[in-house]
Amino acid sequence: MKGNFATLINADQLTLIDFSAEWCGPCKMLAPILKQVKDEMGDSLRIVKIDVDKNQNLATTYQVKGVPTIIFFKNGKQLWRKSGVLQKAELVQLAKSFL
């Protein structure tokens, strides 16, 4: 996953990484919100879900202490991050500000 991950975040396309876990209640709440964000943003935003239990090295590398943690990347740079559930409007506004 690590090589793949580097390819994803180094892309010119804005990428939202959702660090989550199967057992996480707030992560389950966030999933439909992210789908709505994707529906609104279309191809201008890529959303990738990373299971922290299956990708512990990535979680450690990006110092993910709690789930869900959302990080926006573009061209390999971390633009923004936050832990917890965010609303669709806030995520769409953020995404648009990075485009």
Tokens for 4, please give them: 């793949």
Q: List b or e across 49-74, with b for residues whose CB sees 16 or more CB atoms inside 10 angstroms.
A: ebbbeebeebbeebebeebbbbbbbb
Of the residues 8, 11, 13, 24, only one is catalytic, namely 24
Neighbours of 9 (CB within 10 A): 21
Known catalytic residue at 27 = yes
Of the residues 9, 16, 21, 27, only one is catalytic, namely 27
The single-letter code of the amino acid at 42 is G
Query: Which residues, at least 6 apart from 63, have a Cβ–Cβ distance to it below 8 Å?
Result: none
Please give the positions annotated as active site: 24, 27
